[in-house]
Structure 1
């Protein structure tokens, strides 16, 4: 990537739905040049759009973080886990584990079934599970809420945006069967209230924004001061309190590896922190979030 691609990626991280004309004005290049660069980045697989809704709004109330060791090629195992609908995140990592996966389900019984399915996957040698008791910061920082914040028409639009966060209003209208005016009003509310957030992720081969580092923290005493300190860092991409061998789990981004080391040292120096373990995300295999199924047919505009 050259300097323009790097700037384009930074702009899309800030607003994954930024229009081509807006990006052209921001970067000082033509709209056609933006279109050509976007096509190259997305078509190569080096960059992909990620749309995120807080699990509480999605109807996903059980979240687990899995550290997995394998006894066969890790990419094959990761691909098998990525095929599961309730496994929205799979990443190859350095450190004691070979890969990290996240499971999100409507409740404990579905979570137990999902964990059993992962554990039974060919190539899984060992698996350590952390249950997320409180999700403090989710990827892209969507607003927490509840399933009552969205109705069936919202869900239709959210499903489409989870598939393609950059889908145009006209295409959303065509796919949903809703009028363009309804789509415009509904999507504006969904984005303005931060029910859904859209950004981009890039492979390590082209990403010059620095490493993504996983951090597991054990705490002595009250955990909230540590949560507040880590959540306040703009580099924190994910943060949850957990039940298991860690009390707190985070994913942080740094511009360089040395800055990542400094960030982890800052966490380690917090008064209540006892131990810190870290790992580096080498390759994100899957990052795709889904709504929990309702079993109900979507409403039409006439059914509002």
Structure 2
């Protein structure tokens, strides 16, 4: 993340690209707007010891700096050419990283990315995880087909934001609560019901979930989608004690993943989008983010 921060060479290149685009548009007699920046997030921080809090804060600041500096760079060019200045902010579209130095370090970084989106959901938009994509032989970098598939996910999100004027669709966790030994994790999603989609994403230990409290890690004994389609219902081996937390997608690797050190889970929605590359058709539903959340323990019903 430090290589992307304000003042770094990659950051300066981004601002220069926006200014050059504005200049070329004006020279052609056209106005220009930069309304979103797609950010493909990699894995270096998972090996650099970057903390979750530091990464999340840096990501939030990066969006704010990009928006301010792009507007400061392009608006003088636009107004000098007789066009109105851009007042709308520059949004950020992002993916959660695909791998890390270790699964534990990887989990901290994808959770930091989740935190950043929660900190500024009006400007930072989740496109999807990448744990489901295929890698080259190095088990770290995505294949060209995987990169194209992810690029089309960015295109879907960008169209919803820039053309439709809507917040891009995604699955997102809303709440987690227990009553007795039953945990219910509720989500919003573009199209219900949710699916524990092991046919598409492979099998995971405990469907990618991990539940802990001050006593330790709980055993998870069954998983189901609620009849309403918007909850994952998990049976625990006991009631939770103090400080219960549910994690998803941070601890267990898919049976079909080719990433070396990755984790994920099988939750998708029922969106039936597909993409075809070189004659092969891929299913592209929305995938749940990797996240953690405090559990609210409700009193058992009499």
What range is the shorter-chain TM-score in?
A: under 0.3
Higher relative contact order structure (alpha carbons within 8 Å, sequence separation ≥ 6): 1
Taking structure 2 as the reference length, the TM-score comes to 0.28
Taking structure 1 as the reference length, the TM-score comes to 0.28
Structure number with higher helix proportion: 1
